[in-house]
């Protein structure tokens, strides 16, 4: 915030009738100056005079010298207070504050156009939320949605979809989860799943992915993993896309730790760079570092936790609007960009002596 002295500052008005000596007197009272100093100070005084022409945005002004690619508004001719000062003005003795509130230029045209310009800036800065701002585009989007629901109700629609998926090389995992399931399945197969009693929390997918010695599934709301552990213990507990929906993930992790047998494992998979999807709630996101320390806080030794992640910018952008199937024909990229993780997973092992 500018100081009180800065807000009361008013730049000297320099008219074309003023002589160079009078301009010099406005900046300094020294009796003698060299020709170099006189030239430099005269240039600074002129830069102050030229800074009086500027474009107003809200309650601030921008110098005309700065290139702003926006609609040019009307500005009042009584703008005389220098609000943005460059190096020349600061060296001339003017306040060094970057912005000073406008004390003048309260004309009707300046205020109206400033509001429109500020509104344009806000619309440009506001991220797209999936709903077009244009009423024609919004209506067209709604028409396409209704048409889509109508087509899906036609008998035989699902057979056509299956045929298209086969022709385009689609699978049932989805683009964002294809690499995740490949990596985690490899981790589980290293544990000799045919000898494991497995439990999946709120899901049944892993019962068909891997052949276990025994497989059980519990679902919400019949069982709430945040409330209490089950009385049985298992060699492997799986939570696939579950922990981001939990109100109390730490409590759930402690309960899972009690349900894992000594020497057993806990496999957790959760999204990161995806849109909010409340089923029934959406609460948390973790990176590899975050999920590792969450599991360590729940009791698993941190050196016995293996983590992984996958994602890329193309997949993140596509998943912001809807869930996308992975299709080889569409050349969906499977390269990994670590700065854009869309799926994160971890495999924690419980010590044998506990």
CATH assignment of the domain containing 239: 3.40.50.150
Look at residue 152 and tell me if it is in a domain. Answer: no
Answer with the one of 125, 154, 189 that is the final residue of a domain. Answer: 125
Of 245 and 40, which is predicted with more confidence?
245
Look at residue 147 and tell me if it is in a domain. Answer: no
Cα 196 from Cα 188, distance rounded (Å): 10
Half-sphere exposure at residue 311, Cβ-oriented, CA atoms within 13 angstroms: 22
204 and 303 in a single domain? The answer is yes
Which pLDDT value is given to residue 171? 73
Kindly state the average pLDDT of the residues 111-135: 60
Of 89 and 136, which is predicted with more confidence?
136
Look at residue 37 and tell me if it is in a domain. Answer: yes
Look at residue 236 and tell me if it is in a domain. Answer: yes
Kindly state the average pLDDT of the residues 258-273: 96
Ramachandran category for residue 30: left, alpha or beta (phi over 0 → left; psi -120 to 50 → alpha): beta
Look at residue 262 and tell me if it is in a domain. Answer: yes
119 and 23 in a single domain? The answer is yes
In whole angstroms, how far apart are CA 16 and each of 23, 50, 52, 63, 271?
Answer: 10, 12, 14, 21, 67
Ramachandran category for residue 327: left, alpha or beta (phi over 0 → left; psi -120 to 50 → alpha): beta
Query: Which residues face 199 on adjacent strands?
Result: 216, 237
Phi, psi of 21 (to 5 degrees): -70, -35
Of 163-177, 223-237, 250-264, where does mean pLDDT reach its minimum? 163-177
Pairing of strands 260-271, 343-349: antiparallel
Kindly state the average pLDDT of the residues 5-29: 48
194 and 330 in a single domain? The answer is yes
How would you label 225-243 residue by residue, b for 16+ Cβ within 10 Å and e otherwise?
beeebbeebbbbbbbbbbb
Kindly indicate the confidence band of residue 174, based on its pLDDT and cuts at 50, 70 and 90: confident
108 and 211 in a single domain? The answer is no
76 and 206 in a single domain? The answer is no
Share of the chain above pLDDT 70, in %: 61
Nearest CA to 256 among 248, 246, 247, 266?
Answer: 266
Kindly indicate the confidence band of residue 337, based on its pLDDT and cuts at 50, 70 and 90: very high
Q: 94 pLDDT exceeds 60? A: no
Look at residue 159 and tell me if it is in a domain. Answer: no
190 and 304 in a single domain? The answer is yes
Q: 101 pLDDT exceeds 60? A: no
Nearest CA to 281 among 203, 220, 344?
Answer: 220
Residue 15: Cβ-neighbour burial (10 angstroms; 0-12, 13-18, 19+):
exposed
Q: 137 pLDDT exceeds 70? A: yes
Of 102 and 169, which is predicted with more confidence?
169
Q: Read off the pTM.
A: 0.58
Measure CA of the first residue to CA of the last residue in the chain; give whole Å: 59
**Tens of pLDDT, residues 20-50:** 455 445 444 444 446 666 666 666 666 555 4
Quote the Cα angle for 28-32-36, to 5°. 85
Q: 109 pLDDT exceeds 60? A: no
Instruction: Count structural domains, the chain.
Output: 2
Pairing of strands 234-240, 260-271: parallel
Look at residue 106 and tell me if it is in a domain. Answer: yes
194 and 343 in a single domain? The answer is yes
Answer with the one of 125, 154, 186 that is the final residue of a domain. Answer: 125
342 and 193 in a single domain? The answer is yes
Tokens representing residue 273 in the block: 């760079």
Look at residue 166 and tell me if it is in a domain. Answer: no
For 114, the domain range is 4-125
């Amino acid at each position: 915030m500018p100081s009180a002295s800065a807000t009361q500052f008013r730049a000297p008005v320099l008219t074309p009738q003023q002589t160079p000596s009078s301009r010099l007197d406005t900046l300094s009272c020294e009796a003698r100056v060299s020709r170099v100093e006189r030239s430099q100070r005269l240039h600074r005084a002129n830069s102050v005079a030229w800074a009086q022409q500027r474009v107003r945005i809200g309650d601030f002004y921008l110098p005309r010298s700065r290139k702003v690619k926006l609609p040019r508004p009307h500005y009042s001719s009584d703008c005389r207070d220098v609000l943005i000062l460059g190096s020349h003005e600061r060296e001339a003795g003017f306040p060094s504050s970057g912005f000073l509130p406008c004390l003048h230029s309260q004309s009707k045209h300046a205020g109206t156009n400033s509001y429109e310009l500020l509104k344009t800036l806000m619309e440009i800065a506001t991220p797209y939320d999936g709903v077009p701002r244009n009423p024609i585009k919004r209506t067209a989007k709604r028409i396409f949605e209704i048409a889509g629901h109508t087509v899906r109700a036609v008998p035989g629609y699902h057979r056509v979809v299956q045929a298209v998926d086969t022709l385009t090389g689609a699978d049932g995992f989805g683009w964002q989860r294809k690499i995740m399931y490949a990596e985690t399945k490899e981790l589980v197969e290293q544990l000799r799943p045919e000898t494991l009693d497995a439990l999946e929390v709120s899901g049944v997918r892993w019962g068909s992915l891997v052949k276990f010695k025994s497989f059980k599934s519990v679902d919400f709301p019949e069982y709430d993993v945040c409330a209490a552990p089950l009385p049985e213990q298992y060699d492997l507990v799986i939570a696939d896309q579950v922990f981001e929906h939990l109100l109390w993930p730490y409590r759930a992790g402690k309960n899972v730790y009690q349900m894992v047998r000594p020497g057993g494992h806990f496999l957790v998979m959760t999204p990161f760079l995806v849109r909010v999807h409340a089923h029934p709630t959406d609460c948390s996101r973790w990176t590899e570092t975050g999920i590792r320390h969450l599991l360590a806080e729940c009791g698993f030794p941190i050196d016995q936790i293996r983590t992984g992640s996958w994602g890329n910018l193309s997949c993140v952008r596509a998943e912001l609007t809807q869930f996308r199937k992975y299709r080889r024909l569409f050349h969906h990229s499977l390269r990994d960009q670590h700065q854009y993780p869309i799926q994160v997973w971890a495999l924690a092992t419980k010590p044998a002596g506990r």
